[in-house]
Structure 1
Amino acid sequence: MSAAVVILALVTAQRLAELALARRNTRALLARGAHEVGAGHYPLIVTVHALWLASLWWLAPGEAIDWPLIGLFLILQLARLWVLATLKERWTTRVIVLPGEPLVTGGPFRFVRHPNYAIVVAEIAVLPLAFALWEVAAVFTVLNAAVLAVRIRAEERALGSDRLSP
């Protein structure tokens, strides 16, 4: 089995585990009285991410690997874990608002308003570039930017209406 296949298998397993965690957290939040905002754009996000990963599975095996970029990707995974650990049960792949709950301002949120989105932007570029697939990095960076523009607007509106005063 090639190193590229191992890397892609690990990334795929991670993403599937995150979807399971997000689904569990979403159900728990909704049971506590939360509501979803911007559900209409969620299928676009899923599609962009699934196509990104599928394109890597199709094109990356057999390509040379830039190990320093894989190292950078691993650092991004640590940052992703920091976000998940900070948000705990409030982390989900959807925009779920629990009225009356204060915004999370600790961990990476002290430094960046949307740290997970910053990490995803970097991941979508870095992993394809680690396989010299600059075209994949470019196309999915543009597609991701488009869906994130919609997503962040929806999230900001939702959080603005449900924020507690600091």
Structure 2
Amino acid sequence: MIPYTVLVLLVAVERLAELVVARRNSRWSRDRGAVEYGSGHYPVMVLLHTALLAGCLAETWLTDRPFLPWLGWPMLALALGAQALRWWCITSLGPRWNTRVLVVPGLPLVTGGPYRRLRHPNYLAVVVEGAALPLVHSAWVTAAVFTLLNLPLLTVRLRCETAALTRCAPAT
């Protein structure tokens, strides 16, 4: 369980790195007149994503969940792939990436990187990670609860982001 605990703590450190990038990018966006959308659901999203990490650790330690190699190794590969996709999104969006929905009016939509194929690839990373990270160490309750709670939140977030980008994107 120690290696899994280290993995979850490393993901937590990665989340903190995301927040540092997001804070810097927020300043960049706001300096250029960014408009924020969906701020009401943001605290719920932060709480749910924090609970995912806490749930991974709590369920594994409190219920003595085993590491099942046939499940754990593929889920680790998916969790790492989700991280790679997330950082590909972050680098593709550059200073426009954020954990909040901040849109600078007049800027064209990003169509490079993973956005060439998917409209919201970062949320694919969230969905995959939310299922895979807990299952690395058989925390199936955490995987199921996060997934069920994340679905309505993700629906709200996608609608919010799509509407914001539609309103703020320049006419073509």
Assess same fold via TM > 0.5: yes
For 2:148, the equivalent position in structure 1 comes to: 142
**1:60, 1:94 → 2: CA distance?**
31
Alignment gaps of 5+ in structure 2: none
Would you say the 8 A contact 1:64–1:132 is kept in 2?
Answer: yes
For 1:128, the equivalent position in structure 2 comes to: 134
Would you say the 8 A contact 1:55–1:136 is kept in 2?
Answer: yes
Task: Indicate whether 1:156 and 2:162 are aligned.
Answer: yes
Write out per-residue CA displacement over residues 47-79 of structure 1, whole angstroms, 9 at most, x where no aligned residue.
110111111121224543312211221122111
Name which of structure 1's ranges 146-155 and 91-100 shifts more when overlaid on structure 2: 146-155
Task: Indicate whether 1:33 and 2:39 are aligned.
Answer: no
**1:13, 1:33 → 2: CA distance?**
30
Local SS of the residue matching 2:102: strand
For 1:14, the equivalent position in structure 2 comes to: 14
Task: Indicate whether 1:64 and 2:104 are aligned.
Answer: no
Once the two structures are superposed, the pairs formed by residues 89-104 of structure 1 within 5 Å of their partners are: 89-104=95-110
Deviation of 1:156 after TM superposition, in Å, equals: 1.2
For 1:119, the equivalent position in structure 2 comes to: 125
Would you say the 8 A contact 1:4–1:63 is kept in 2?
Answer: no
For 2:83, the equivalent position in structure 1 comes to: 77
Deviation of 1:86 after TM superposition, in Å, equals: 0.3
Local SS of the residue matching 1:40: coil
**Residue identity opposite 2:50 in structure 1:** A
Would you say the 8 A contact 1:52–1:136 is kept in 2?
Answer: yes
Local SS of the residue matching 1:132: coil
Would you say the 8 A contact 1:101–1:163 is kept in 2?
Answer: yes
Q: Show structure 1 runs of 4+ deviating over 6 A.
A: none
**Residue identity opposite 2:92 in structure 1:** T
**2:50, 2:10 → 1: CA distance?**
15
**1:13, 1:63 → 2: CA distance?**
23
Give the aligned length.
166
For 1:48, the equivalent position in structure 2 comes to: 48
Alignment gaps of 5+ in structure 1: none
For 2:92, the equivalent position in structure 1 comes to: 86
